[in-house]
Amino acid sequence: MKIVSVAGTKNTGKTTLVTLLVSELVKRGLKVGTVKHTHVKLDVEGKDTWKHREAGAEIVVGAGGEETFFIVNEDMDLETIINSVEQLYKLDFLVLEGYKPANYAKISTSTLDDPFSLAQVDVRELDEESIGKLADLVEERSFGKLPNMNCGDCGYENCHEMALAMVKGEAKEDLCVMKQMSDVILKVNGNRIPMNPFVNKFIENTFLGMISALKIKEHGEPQKIELLIQHDINQ
């Protein structure tokens, strides 16, 4: 899942640009999600969900019609939100509105001195052709979460330098060796833990050997096997 942020000062057309960009990416057959950063409360006082929260609910889920939404009593940091989105849905792109400090590719709607900026645009001057070119740029140079292992196997000193190179169009995400090792994915609290080839293969072979005696083929030929360990380290 690639990530791009639309950032800029207030009333410069960020929401308009997000909707235009999302529409263009969806037209290309891509699955897109969005995250909007706001300084105002999202729930509405007096509504049923608000009453649930006032009663003490830690999380409120509203479901009905054609939509479901979650309200959590916590101002989650961006990485936690991204991890949660990845667990809920398989997306091609996640478009952020706001989040200027984030080290992801950005399109700015006002002057923004940021090495992660792909382009600065005046939303009032955008037309169909320029939106298409902007979407091309986003497809070519945006990237997803990097492992932050700073292994250097990509040829860059650290993940930060590789990210900057991708924004400049000097590198591609498939240079990240850690991200290519996807036979086994280990996550702790939603965060992916990079593994070298030896550990990757060791876990795969050990786990498959352990479950080979179980009746897993009753559920069809295994294509994807998931193991979730619910563990409280304080117990």
- Concatenated DSSP letters of 21-84: HHHHHHHTT--EEEEE--SS-SS-TTSHHHHHHHTT-SEEEEEETTEEEEEESS---HHHHHHH
Cα separation, 13 vs 11, in Å, equals 6
Which secondary structure element, helix H or strand E, spans residue 204, and what is its range? helix 197-211
Indicate the helix (H) or strand (E) that contains 193. strand 191-193
Residue 211 pLDDT greater than 90, yes or no: no
Sign of CA dihedral 119, 123, 126, 131: positive
The two tokens of residue 6 are 């639309």
**Residue 182 above 70 pLDDT?**
no
Quickly state the pLDDT bin for 52 (edges 50, 70, 90): very high
The CATH-assigned architecture of domain 2-145 is: 3-Layer(aba) Sandwich (3.40)
| pTM, entire model | 0.80
For range 202-221, the mean pLDDT: 81
Confidence at 151, pLDDT banded by 50, 70, 90: confident
The residues pairing with 95 across neighbouring beta strands, listed in sequence order, are 4, 34
Angle separating helix axes 14-27 and 128-141, nearest 10 degrees: 80
60 within 8 A of 52, measured Cβ to Cβ: yes
List the domain boundaries for the chain. Answer: 2-145, 181-234
